[in-house]
Copies of this chain bind each other. A is one copy, B any other.
Amino acid sequence: MYGLHNLGVPRVSQDQLDARRKEILTGARTCFARHGYEGATVRRLEEEIGLSRGAIFHHFRDKDSLFLAVAEDDAATMVATVAQHGLVQVMRDLLSSAAGAAEPDVTGWLGSQLEVSRRLRTDPEFATRWAARSEAVAAATRERLQRQLEAGVLRADVPIGVLAQFLELAYDGLVLHLATGRPPQDLEAVLNLVEAAVRRT
């Protein structure tokens, strides 16, 4: 016996599902960054995303799953960029997009980074679930540094783990600086200094 969805109603394609999912994540990212996790009510999520709660929670089990999906999506993008261009390039991209913007992008990616930081601080269960994703970025950073060491462009007198943590410290500092709306000042020259500090001299 045929189900209802086969009575001439076209099946939704995977592409359409993916596009819808991406649309939900984009709106949710803005909403979480603007109002914080607790402040992002279902009503506000509906308004920002432009879909009903039924449509949203057809794709994501609950608000917590939605938040985690936004954060995972960000982490995946970052892992890809780090693997290809390195963490310093991620910082340069972040800086140039912040310098070009009329006001700090606290409702997009930066805001979502800070909201992840806040939940790490206030929600131990989230911190546990997040640990694995956070480690993926660190691993991508270490792997790229290893390749640079083999190519002879990295300093060899400091362990790779320390160099990776140094870059992560600079990255965290940049996120806090930009997300709090402080001006970019000479940060481009600062990033040159960060890069030089891990290179073979």
A158 within 8 A of B: yes
Size class of the A contact interface (CB-based, 8 Å): 35 or more
Task: Judge whether A137 is part of the interface by a CB distance below 8 angstroms.
Answer: no
Interface check A176, CB cutoff 8 A: yes
**With A121-B114, A193-B197, A197-B197 known to touch, is A172 a contact of B176 (CB < 8 Å)?**
yes
Q: From residue A177, how far is it (CB to closest CB) to chain B in Å?
A: 6
**Is A166 touching B180 in the complex (CB atoms < 8 A)?**
no
Stoichiometry, as copies per complex, reads: 2
How many angstroms between the C-alpha atoms of A184 and B130 in the bound complex? 17
Q: What separation, in Å, do the CA atoms of A118 and B39 have in the docked complex?
A: 15
User: Is the CB–CB distance between A193 and B120 below 8 Å?
Assistant: no
Answer whether A162 and B181 are a contact pair too, CB < 8 Å, given A172-B176, A197-B197.
Answer: no
Query: Using Cβ atoms and an 8 Å threshold, which residues of chain B touch A127?
Result: 181
CA of A162 to CA of B186, assembled, Å: 6
For window 123-171 of A, CB contacts with B under 8 Å fall at 127, 158-159, 161-163, 165-166, 168-171
Q: A94: CB under 8 A from chain B? A: no
CB distance from A91 to the nearest CB of B (A): 10
Chain B residue with Cβ nearest A106: B121
A31 interface hit (Cβ, 8 Å): no
Q: Are A190 and B177 in contact (CB under 8 A)?
A: no
